Amino acid sequence: MDFLVVGAGVAGLRAAVGLAGQGDVLVVTKESLGESNTHYAQGGIAVAAEDGEDVSLHLEDTVRAGDGLVYRPAAEALVSEGPLRVAELIEWGTNFDLATDSEGRRLNGQFLRTREGAHSLARILHANGDATGAEISRALLAHARGQKCIRFAEWTQVTRLLTEGGRVVGAELECAGGTGAQEPPRSVRARAVLLASGGAGQVYAETTNPAVATGDGIALAREAGAELADMEFYQFHPTALALAGAPRFLLSEALRGEGAYLRNERGERFMERYHPLLELAPRDVVARAIAREGMASQDRTSGEAKNANPGTRPVYLDMRHIRNVDLHRRFPGISAFLARYGLDLACDLVPVRPAAHYLMGGIRTDLAGRASLAGLYAAGEAACTGVHGANRLASNSLLEGLVFGARAAQAILADGLPLVRVRAERLQAAKPLRPAEEQRVEDAIAGLRSAMWAHAGVLREESGLRAGMAVQAECEAALAQLAGQPRSGRRWTEARALSRVAGAILQSALARRESRGAHFRSDHPRRDDENFQKHSELGRDGRVQFEKW
Ligand code: SIN
């Protein structure tokens, strides 16, 4: 085969479309097509409004939100190529919501645009109210399915990247469960491998991400010897539902874009104490403010100790004052989800708390998706171009997937690497875990996720990060005990990935002894440009270094 694309979210699909016609493309995904972070994106896709001036405003907003660490050429590529990539999406059948007059008549095909945190104006397109990711996925997938040379392998995971002479030349694949055909493990060769496998929210006990987000691609790249960057920067979405017994369902920032207030337990609109943009401050600022307010109410009621990423009490989203928007029509998915728990956006206070949402770091790439190993490319959340710096601007992620997915495809074609024959290698028969072993793996993962939330969450400090390292080492040891013979199975692969990604986050967070964007160290609460206005790089030798890009 010519090109192997790992992941079927927006970055993987856009890259596959760019490669189609130039060779065979195999897109593998470990669940069914459509199950990705992309699918669950609610708020929308940020893209400069039609007037040319907004490209530079979008750039400035992106750079400002990134807290001094955005790699400007990456952000320039994002905002200047974004409008073209979104126009393609529309041509391929994506239906963004259209503006209507008071009688519901369409206004010359104009799109509705909303505003989210740290945007200087309303530029975010959305679809079906709050189901933007699902609509983009649907249209992109339909377009990709129409290309003859793209094949899809669902319920398939990559267990190892194959390298030869320092170049990635293929991958080992195995069945990842599900209802599909139980194919035996196999190795495939490809001229290029693109990792577009998304983020790793599952490394935290509290996350808005679906179960598939276990950082598999990042761990594969690291195992093969590729460099990672900025792994300490995990974005915590300020407003995930905080209701006992309910999942940490995302409550889109677009709710605040339409005017929602945040109130603490005493009913105060507390954001005025934290930022002049109030509820539309950058995400990192809002997440920390919520954590602090939650901790304050916890102290008042229980006298429990501070530093409580895990136990902070919720604050509340309040939309009861909003009269000019039909909230149930504007947010149908959120309204339906809340109704299951007896809550109504228009008349109830909705309890929220931050949860892990988006990894700004990842596999270090150049602006064309090239990783540090020849033959290996990455795009979207799995990659780190420096485009988000220390804190991603709201709704820039779908745009990132489109722009850098397209760029990666162009680079793969331009590089024109030949197919390399690897030594014919029989895949060793791998053993699935027995039930008792599976339980040990689940226990190790659960311990790791809790430790990550407690110690590498919204608020961090050295002693906690070291405690997190100790738990990660225990998790590695538990997995090593089971790795005496080759193992197979989805949870096995995911556990190894989660452990490695957690290690990289902890190590990078310990090394960055300052606070910036999403990385807040209570023991180093100030931004330190002199020493740390640099990107962290986790190299082959396992050391973290800081470099200016
Ligand atoms: C949201 O709708 O708040 C999430 C969008 C994003 O992560 O940018």
Average pLDDT score over the chain: 93
**Ligand 1 contact, 144 CB (< 6 A):** no
Residue 37 counted as domain residue = no
Q: Which atom of ligand 1 is nearest to the CA of 392?
A: 8
Specify whether the CB–CB gap between 35 and 154 falls below 8 A: no
Q: Which of 329, 355, 381 is the last residue of a domain?
A: 355
Specify whether the CB–CB gap between 36 and 381 falls below 8 A: no
**Ligand 1 contact, 253 CB (< 6 A):** yes
State pLDDT tens for residues 286-304.
Answer: 999 999 998 876 655 554 4
The pLDDT > 70 percentage for the chain reads 95
Give the DSSP letter of residue 243: -
Q: Are residues 341 and 251 in the same domain?
A: yes
CATH of the domain at 306: 3.90.700.10
Q: Which of 296, 321, 355 is the last residue of a domain?
A: 355
Residue 276: pLDDT over 70: yes
Which of the residues are catalytic? Answer: 283
Give the DSSP letter of residue 380: G
CATH of the domain at 519: 1.20.58.100
* Residue 50 pLDDT grade (very low, low, confident, very high; cuts 50, 70, 90): confident
* Residue 426 pLDDT grade (very low, low, confident, very high; cuts 50, 70, 90): low
Residue 497 counted as domain residue = yes
**Cβ atoms within 10 A of the Cβ of 409, count?**
27
**Ligand 1 contact, 37 CB (< 6 A):** no
Specify whether the CB–CB gap between 502 and 469 falls below 8 A: no
Mutation pick for ligand 1 pocket among 36, 237, 360 (CB with most ligand atoms within 8 Å): 237
* Residue 306 pLDDT grade (very low, low, confident, very high; cuts 50, 70, 90): very low
- Cα→Cα distances 530→67, 389, 514, 526, Å: 14, 16, 11, 12
* Residue 179 pLDDT grade (very low, low, confident, very high; cuts 50, 70, 90): low
Provide the edge-to-edge strand list for the sheet that holds 544-547. 383-384, 362-364, 228-229, 535-538, 544-547
Q: Are residues 248 and 338 in the same domain?
A: yes
Q: Are residues 344 and 253 in the same domain?
A: yes
Residue 134 counted as domain residue = no
Specify whether the CB–CB gap between 133 and 8 falls below 8 A: no
Q: Are residues 255 and 347 in the same domain?
A: yes
SS3 label, residue 464: helix
Residue 405: pLDDT over 70: yes
Mean pLDDT of 410-427: 85
* Residue 182 pLDDT grade (very low, low, confident, very high; cuts 50, 70, 90): low
Mean pLDDT of 368-386: 98
Question: b vs e for 348-386, b when ≥16 Cβ sit within 10 Å of the residue's Cβ?
Answer: bbbbbbbbbbbbbbbbbbbbbbbbbbebbbbbbbbbbbb
Name the residue at shortest CA distance from atom 1 of ligand 1.
Answer: 252
Residue 155 counted as domain residue = no
Name the residue at shortest CA distance from atom 6 of ligand 1.
Answer: 395
Question: Domain range holding 297?
Answer: 241-355
Specify whether the CB–CB gap between 280 and 343 falls below 8 A: no
Residue 475 counted as domain residue = yes
Q: What is the pLDDT of residue 59?
A: 97
**Ligand 1 contact, 280 CB (< 6 A):** no
State pLDDT tens for residues 518-539.
Answer: 999 999 999 999 999 999 999 9
Mutation pick for ligand 1 pocket among 10, 116, 350, 388 (CB with most ligand atoms within 8 Å): 116
Q: What is the pLDDT of residue 307?
A: 46
- Determine the distance separating the centroid of ligand 1 and the alpha carbon of 526, expressed in angstroms: 27
DSSP 264-325: -TTS--GGGGT-TTGGGS-HHHHHHHHHHHHHHHHHHHH---S--TTTPPPEEEE-TT--SS
Specify whether the CB–CB gap between 422 and 164 falls below 8 A: yes
Residue 310: pLDDT over 60: no
Residue 305: pLDDT over 50: no
Q: What is the pLDDT of residue 255?
A: 96
| Whole-prediction pTM | 0.95
Mean pLDDT of 253-274: 95
Q: Are residues 248 and 332 in the same domain?
A: yes
**Ligand 1 contact, 135 CB (< 6 A):** no
State pLDDT tens for residues 468-512.
Answer: 999 999 999 999 999 888 888 899 999 999 999 999 999 999 999
Residue 5 counted as domain residue = no
**Ligand 1 contact, 372 CB (< 6 A):** no
Residue 401: pLDDT over 60: yes
Residue 183: pLDDT over 60: yes
* Residue 51 pLDDT grade (very low, low, confident, very high; cuts 50, 70, 90): confident
SS3 label, residue 406: helix
Q: Which of 355, 388, 411 is the last residue of a domain?
A: 355
User: How many domains is the chain built from?
Assistant: 2
Residue 37: pLDDT over 70: yes
Residue 55 counted as domain residue = no
Residue 404 counted as domain residue = no
Q: What is the pLDDT of residue 30?
A: 93
Specify whether the CB–CB gap between 338 and 350 falls below 8 A: yes
Q: What is the 3-state secondary structure (H, E, C) of 40-74?
A: HCCCCEECCCCCCHHHHHHHHHHHHHCCCCCCHHH
